[in-house]
Structure 1
């Protein structure tokens, strides 16, 4: 049985001055923390969805993923800076400290914020929205736990972000 562990987020956000959209997760999963980057679980469909909707080659390495995001004006980060959690179970999250979004918003061209899943959206609404003032768009989770959404349905849902990143 997994125990609660207090963990600090160790990944830096990915963005630059040309970033137009910000995609937020909750907190890195155990697999992502082992991998050392966002959406590192091999069954998570995040990278397949983004490469599908942008008609791009699937990035594999961490460096390729960073370059992919920046080339498409996409930023990623998580709502939570630190929390107490059991394994990768978002529903177990407690003792939340949120990230400070002002640094991204002041140094980029964010036009929209998207939440990858219900929990990321709920946490953003509860802790961040009032400070930031940008309403997040809730998208279905790309997690393998969200089996109701196949790759095609996820791509359809995520394709709405393309209007914000088009040149």
Structure 2
């Protein structure tokens, strides 16, 4: 199965980094396409990227114009994170690091602690800090923010909790970018 294309451009305010694409997202051609995934609802409710868009490839193009890009740590499509192996993270981290260094977004947004921890370990050679929110900066100086993964497999966090974290990210972006 193919993977999802990145939605990247120079001058991004925020780069969204997922763990890896799901089959539903690859089939639909856009990130977080599973109808049970809470990403789009939390994004809309939080006001992080504005309002008035429907999930789909066109929304990604609109969000890209608004300064929000999308990529994944691992580009291999799987039906769940449990199918990923250490080699996937080890192989994916250099590609993500190259994208970060080439496009230099204002901030990185990791969806879930696994994406953050695996990238920091394999891409930066450091251990992940505990917690959620703004947790530090990469070696290139770009700050990173971590929110719970919106996947339906991560039901431990409610839509309201996700929305609050996305709103906190919006506030942090406003502080950084004015």
* TM-score, normalised by the number of residues in structure 2: 0.74
Task: Write the distance in 2 (CA, Å) between the matches of 1:33 and 1:44.
Answer: 14
How far 1:104 sits from its partner (Å)? 4.5
Matches within 5 A, 1:1-167: 10-54=3-47, 55-67=50-62, 69-82=63-76, 87-94=78-85, 95-96=87-88, 97-98=91-92, 99-108=95-104, 110-130=105-125, 133=139, 134=142, 136-162=144-170, 163-164=172-173
Matched positions, count: 155
* TM-score, normalised by the number of residues in structure 1: 0.78
CA RMSD of aligned residues (A): 2.5
Which stretches in structure 1 are left out of the alignment for 5+ residues? 1-6
Distance 1:33 1:61, change over 3 A: closer
- Could you give the per-residue CA deviations for residues 18-38 of structure 1, whole angstroms, max 9, x where no partner exists? 311111111101211222221
Distance 1:43 1:58, change over 3 A: farther
Which stretches in structure 2 are left out of the alignment for 5+ residues? 127-137
8 A Cα contact 1:116 1:142, kept in partner: yes
User: Of Structure 1 and Structure 2, which has the larger fraction of its residues in helix?
Assistant: 2
Poorly superposed stretches of 4+, deviation over 3 Å? none
How far 1:161 sits from its partner (Å)? 2.1
